[in-house]
Amino acid sequence: MVNDDASWIRHEDATTNETTGSVDGGGIGNPSTRRGPPVKAPVKRASKLAKENGLTADQEAEIREAFGLFAVSHPDHDDSREGVLKRGDVRRCLISLNLTPDKSEMSSILSTIDPLNTGVVAFVPFLSYAAIAIHSKEQGSDEEDEDDEYREESNAEEVRAAYQLFTHGTAGPITLAHLRRVAKELREDVPDDVLKDMILEANGGVKGQGKDVGGVSLEDFERVMKRAGLSFG
C-alpha cells in the first residue's frame, strides 16, 4: 500500500514536469515553450498642452470627451480637429464636467475664452479655463477639509473645557460630589436622587461599586451635549 506522502510527491513531480516540459525517464527533456512578456496596457501620457495647464492625462481626456459632445464644425476653424463650442453650449459643457458655474459668471467666462466675441470657443482656451476651474475646485476641497478638521479640534477642546468646569480641572469622571458642588455654586437646591439620576442617564446606567452611583466620563458628557442639541464653536 502506497502511503499518502508518496502520492503527494508523485503529484508534485508530475505538475513540475508539465510546467517545465521535461519527460521522466532517460533524462531527455523537451525544449520548453517560452512565452513573451504579458502585453501591458498603454500608459496615458499628458500632452504638452495638458502639462502647461497642470492637468493629468485622465483630466485632459475627460475634457476632450466633454468638449466633443457639444462641438460643431466652423468655417473659421477648419484646421481644428476638435471643432468649436457655441457660446450657448459652454455652460452645458462645464456642467458635464461637474464644473457648474453660476449664470452670473458666464459673461466674465465667455469674455475670457472668446475675447473677440466671435460667438464660438475653440478647444485650447476652453481647456485652459476648465483647468483653472478644476484646480480651484480641488483647492477649495482641501480648504474645506482643513476647516472641518479645525472645527472638530476646536469642538473637542471646548467640550473638554466645559467638562472640566464640572470636574474642577481634573481628568474626571464627573461624580456626585462634583454635581453637588456645581448645584451649590448655582444656588440650586437639587436633591441627591435627581443628581444620581442625571449621572446614570449620562453614563448609560453604569453604577460604581456598592452605593457608588458611578461617574460621567468625557465621552459620556459629549454624548449628552449632542443629545441636548448643544454645539460648541
| Predicted local distance difference test score (pLDDT) of residue 26 | 47
Q: Are strands 120-122 and 84-86 parallel, antiparallel or unpaired?
A: antiparallel
Q: In Å, how far are 93, 112, 171 from 106, measured between CA atoms?
A: 12, 10, 56
- pLDDT over threshold 50, residue 122: yes
SS (H, E, C) 197-224: HHHHHHCCCCCCCCCCCCCECHHHHHHH
Work out the mean pLDDT of the chain and round it to a whole number. Answer: 77
Mean pLDDT, residues 82-106: 94
Q: Quote the CATH superfamily of domain 148-228.
A: EF-hand (1.10.238.10)
Q: Are the C-beta atoms of residues 130 and 54 closer than 8 Å to each other?
A: no
Model confidence at 15, pLDDT cuts 50, 70, 90, reads: very low
pLDDT tens sequence across 54-90: 999 999 999 999 999 999 998 888 777 889 999 999 9
pLDDT tens sequence across 188-227: 788 888 888 888 888 887 766 555 667 888 888 888 777 6
Radius of gyration of the CA atoms of the chain, in A: 36
Residue with cell 444656588: 187
Chosen CATH of 48-137 out of 1.10.3720.10, 1.10.238.10, 3.40.50.150, 1.10.486.10: 1.10.238.10
Residues of the chain with CATH 1.10.238.10: 48-137, 148-228
| Predicted local distance difference test score (pLDDT) of residue 208 | 60
The percentage of the chain sitting over the pLDDT mark of 90, rounded to a whole number, equals 28
Q: Which of 94, 73, 92, 90 has its CA nearest to residue 82?
A: 73
